[in-house]
Structure 1
Amino acid sequence: MTIHVENLKFKCIIGILDFERVTPQEVIINLNIDYEHIKHFIDYAKVVDFIKEIMIKNEFFLIEDALKEINLKLNKKFNGIKSINLKITKPSILPECMVSVSDFVIFES
């Protein structure tokens, strides 16, 4: 079974530039969680809240660090996760495009 979270939008502090450390900016999260559905139930509303909490609390400098932290914490908190495909987008950092970084992690059983 796969949970899909698409276009989750909220504001947080993320980035290395001076203005990014002061003013929250919008991020967009896209996420796929593949999990063992026979033995486990994962509440997608709790997943969404958990991701927002991690991002807002940690004020990451790099998207890469946010990806790593979210993947590890999701796997630890929710049982039965087989893989996570996570993408974080900063839609307003460059005027001519949206910039994203993604990561795909497979967890051993």
Structure 2
Amino acid sequence: MTIHIEDLKFQCIIGILDFERTTPQDVIINLAIEYDYQKNFINYADVVEIVKNMMKKNKFLLIEDALENINLKLIKEFNTIKSIHLKITKPSILKGCKVSVSNYYKTQS
């Protein structure tokens, strides 16, 4: 099974520029979680809350660090996850484009 969460948009502090450390900005999260579905499912509402809470609480400097930490938290919370594709977009940081960083994570199990 694969859960897709697309275009999850909220504001948080993320970035290394001075104004990014003081003013929340829009971020858009897209993720796909492949998991081993037996009798237990992964509640996508829980995934959304975990991602939003981590982003807002940690105020990451780099998108790369946010990706790594979200991945680790999700695989810790849900032991049936086989892989995660995670993308974080900052839609308003540069004029005329959206900037994103993504990564694909495969669990060891």
- Distance apart, 1:85 and its partner CA: 0.1
Give CA-to-partner distance per residue, 1:53-91, whole Å, 9 cap, x none. 000000000000000000000000112000000000000
Work out the CA distance in 1 between the residues paired with 2:108 and 2:37. Answer: 16
Partner of 1:21: 21
Identity of aligned residues (%): 67
Q: Helix, strand or coil: the match of 1:54?
A: helix
Q: Could you list the runs of 5+ residues in structure 1 that have no partner in the other structure?
A: none
Partner of 1:73: 73
Work out the CA distance in 2 between the residues paired with 1:40 and 1:100. Answer: 32
Matches within 5 A, 1:1-109: 1-109=1-109
Q: Which amino acid aligns with 2:71?
A: N
TM-score with structure 2 setting the length = 0.98
Count of matched residue pairs: 109
Q: Helix, strand or coil: the match of 2:104?
A: strand
TM-score with structure 1 setting the length = 0.98
RMSD: 0.7
Structure 1 residue ranges (4+ consecutive) displaced by more than 4 angstroms after TM superposition: none
Q: Could you list the runs of 5+ residues in structure 2 that have no partner in the other structure?
A: none
